[in-house]
Amino acid sequence: MTETVPAARLAYDHLGARVSWAVPDPEALYDEETPVGTLDWISHTEGAVVVGITFIEPAERGTPEHRMVLLDGQRVVVTSDDYWLNPRTPVVIHSDKPDTGYIHPR
């Protein structure tokens, strides 16, 4: 099950949730959705919602060794970053995704 809420409605209750959102691209036919990541922290500022997201994705064959981590017997790449979102950005909360942190193919 998924739920879509505007970024402005994200709250502390959503911390730890698996989330994604669409990245608008004026030249693309469709907006590209980000991978599903874990919401680590959130801050509401004037005109923006700042979120901290951690993505855990399977390592590709060409991934440098120093970027890989062994997690549950699988090689993964862990990245964390901050994102400034428009308060109206639709954020998808993926409650149907396992909490393992893995990105599952759509």
Assign 92 a pLDDT band (cuts: 50, 70, 90).
very high
CA torsion, ordered 75, 98, 20, 55, to nearest 10 deg: -20
Residue 100 within a domain: no
Q: Which domain holds residue 78?
A: 2-94
| Structure confidence by residue, pLDDT tens digits, 21-76 | 887 666 666 667 778 899 999 999 999 999 999 998 889 889 888 889 988 888 99
Is residue 104 pLDDT above 50, yes or no? no
Residue 24 within a domain: yes
pLDDT recorded at residue 25? 65
pLDDT recorded at residue 31? 67
Structural contact between residues 55 and 37, judged by C-beta atoms closer than 8 angstroms: yes
Q: What is the pTM of this model?
A: 0.76
DSSP character string of 31-55: PEEPPPEEEEEEEEETTEEEEEEEE
Structural contact between residues 43 and 32, judged by C-beta atoms closer than 8 angstroms: no
Structural contact between residues 38 and 66, judged by C-beta atoms closer than 8 angstroms: no
Q: Based on the structure, what is the number of domains in the chain? A: 1
Residue 106 within a domain: no
